[in-house]
Structure 1
Amino acid sequence: MASDEHSRETSHETSREGPPEPGTPLLEAILENARNRRYLGRRLAQANERIETDVLGDIVRHGPVLEALLDGPLDRREIESRLDVSKATSHRFTQWLDQQGFVEKVDSRFRLTGLGQIIAEEVLRFEANVGTARRLTPLLEAVCEDHQEFVVEPFVDATVTVAAPDDPYRPVERFISLVRSSETFRGFNTTHMAPLVLGGFHQHVFETTETEIIYLPHIADKLFETYPEQARAAVESGHLTLRTRDDLPYGLALFDKRVGIGGYDETTGLMRVFVDTESPVAREWAERVYESVRADSELLADG
């Protein structure tokens, strides 16, 4: 794309200045945890509040009974039935929980104390986050080097699409299917949202979906070199808005109902994993990240 054909102008009218607007308490708590986690161990040590690893292990091992009691008080027979354990095992469970102050016995039934309820919820959250991190391993390997504060909590129920040797385009196909089913699409990416050879996809973006994309400058240039007339017409009509930024962390996509993140192979440039979800917290997180990146980007205008 020649410099006399297109110029980059900063759009002050549409960019937000200053820090992002505060999110919901849940999102703010997740982000605060992400910001503090690197220093949490040091702070606990300084406050002399480290918990012995044996105790932490015992808490996790008692996770099933803690989870069962979240549904309401149970007697020992109900615990045995719910967890399929022996009478002796249920006795050990309840005795240990009582010693820790996690349960109290009322009318022959065990119910969680306030402390026990918090512990039970944290054990479940820990299990969910570990499980999510394991499912997101291909994505984390692709993005975490550039985005150390990526948070996994919003993606606990996400769809994870990974490239396979016999089907290397699975993530791209998943991404394209979401674009085609969405009336609007916003995103940023370190490379092309889809391979430039996929003319049908780009025609859809140029003519059908209301689109705003933030690219690295040379990626935007390549798009205009490949589709000079179609891209220019889409930009001039306002159907396609292109912005550029000198540095981008990974690929983020916001559709009508879902949000997604893409990770790419550094050698081939192909999308190797795409993770998408309709979680409201993930949507809020994605909107926040997108607006932050957008505010530091420049509008690519036809000149």
Structure 2
Amino acid sequence: MGTDEDGWGADRPRPGPGSPILEALLENARSRQHLGRRLDGAGERLGTDFLGDLVRHGPVLESLRREPLDRREIEERLDVSRATSHRLTQWLDDQGLVEKVEGRFQLTGRGEAVADEVLRFEANVGTVHRLGPLLDAICEDHQEFVVEPFVDATVTVAAPDAPYRPVERFVALVDDSGTFRGFNTTHMAPLVLGAFHQRLFDGTDSEVIYLPSIVEKLFETYPERAAEAVERGHLTLRTRDDLPYGLALFDDRVGIGGYDERTGQMQVFVDTDSPIAREWAERVYASVRADSEPIDADRFESLGG
């Protein structure tokens, strides 16, 4: 699926505005690919040595972000020597990031902003590392994926001795939820998992967006049960010719699945109860749904056979 310069599908309607926090995250994600050129144009590139120094001073910046500290408290908080604490605070003072007031070091306004950015950098890099299997699986479309809301997400990865671990996590969340909405490039769970599909047909109010071929396969495997669920209004099926990855919205959590392109097997499932992640997922789902088509009654009858 092609994406425009803002990261949204070129053939996809843009959703309405979200909360200020989400809008800021999305704008940051959209501008990342252009940020290097903007910095070059402004002549604002910082040396890698200076950036490395900022990261190395992250622990003392974080400590001072909480409260002003004297030298002895810095030594105890960071478990460093007097010489090291002197070196740390001297460098921060030289950069205009700290000032000494009544014997205590406190961050300047500039220092507070830098401390926040260093902590954000650490959190985002750590999140990217944890989400690596997912990002590898959805790399062609990850301009639409916002990392920050998933900082404390549960990441479930398939292993040689536990290949169905991500699917099991997904099914457990479906079992705990009264409603379910999502889209996927393949079946939400392998068709052989009858218990899951029984839940989908009878136990959970569901709306699923699939590729047309996946809907056909679903009705081939469960012709009567699928048709009955649709006729009762318990299951709503829609189709779209192209989908970016797997997205699931439960009552209290949202999740994203990454799949092996060759086998179609879920390789990783990431889920969270973060409110911002929820808002992001609702926004993405709404935009995909708006570009999907419902399957009419005649189509259900032909698929049900």
Q: TM-score w.r.t. structure 1 length?
A: 0.93
Aligned to 1:164: 159
Aligned equivalents of 1:279, 1:301: Cα separation in 2: 35
Aligned position for 2:204: 209
RMSD value, Cα:
1.1
Aligned equivalents of 1:111 and 1:21: distance in 2?
A: 42
Which residues of 2 match residues 42-61 of structure 1 at below 5 A? 42-61=37-56
**Cα offsets for 1:7-58 (capped at 9, x unmatched):** xxxxxxxxxx953121111111111111111110110110111111111111
8 Å contact kept, 1:235–1:302 = no
Report which stretch shifted further, 19-28 or 242-251.
Answer: 19-28
Aligned residue runs from structure 1 range 207-286, under 5 A: 207-286=202-281
Q: Does 1:195 align with 2:190?
A: yes
Q: Does the 8 A contact of 1:144 with 1:150 survive in 2?
A: no
* Structure having greater relative contact order (Cα 8 Å, sep ≥ 6): 1
Which of 109, 112, 123 pairs up with 2:118?
123
Alpha-carbon distance in 1 for matches of 2:64, 2:296? 60
2:273 is the alignment partner of 1:288: no
Distance 1:231 1:149 in 2: 32
Q: Check the 8 A contact 2:30/2:143 in 1, yes or no.
A: no
SS of 1:273 mapped into structure 2: strand
Query: How far apart, in 1, do the equivalents of 2:15 and 2:26 lie?
Result: 12
Q: Percent identity?
A: 75
Equivalent residues of 2:255, 2:270 under 8 A apart? yes
CA contact (8 A) 1:235 1:301 kept: no
2-side partners of 1:205 and 1:38: how far apart? Answer: 40
Query: Counterparts of 1:149 and 1:53 in 2: how far apart (Å)?
Result: 28
How far does the alpha carbon of each residue in 1:232-275 deviate from its partner, in whole angstroms, 9 at most, with x for none?
Answer: 11111110000000000000000000000001111211101100
Task: Report the CA distance shift for 1:163/1:18 in structure 2 as closer, same or farther (over 3 A).
Answer: closer
Task: Report the secondary structure of 2:129's partner residue.
Answer: helix
The yes-or-no answer on 1:94 pairing with 2:89 is yes
* Structure 1 residue 104 displacement after superposition: 1.1
Contact 2:135/2:142 (CA < 8 Å) preserved in 1? Answer: no
Higher helix share: 2
Structure 1 unmatched ranges of 5 or more? 1-16
Equivalent of 1:181, from 164, 173, 176?
176
- Residue 151 (str. 1) matches residue 146 (str. 2): yes
Q: Which residue pairs with 1:19 in the alignment? A: 14
In the alignment, residue 99 of structure 1 is paired with which amino acid?
A: D
Specify the alignment match of 2:108 in structure 1. 113
Distance, in Å, in 2 between the alignment partners of 1:283 and 1:119 is: 28
Give distance in 2, aligned partners of 1:68 and 1:300. 57
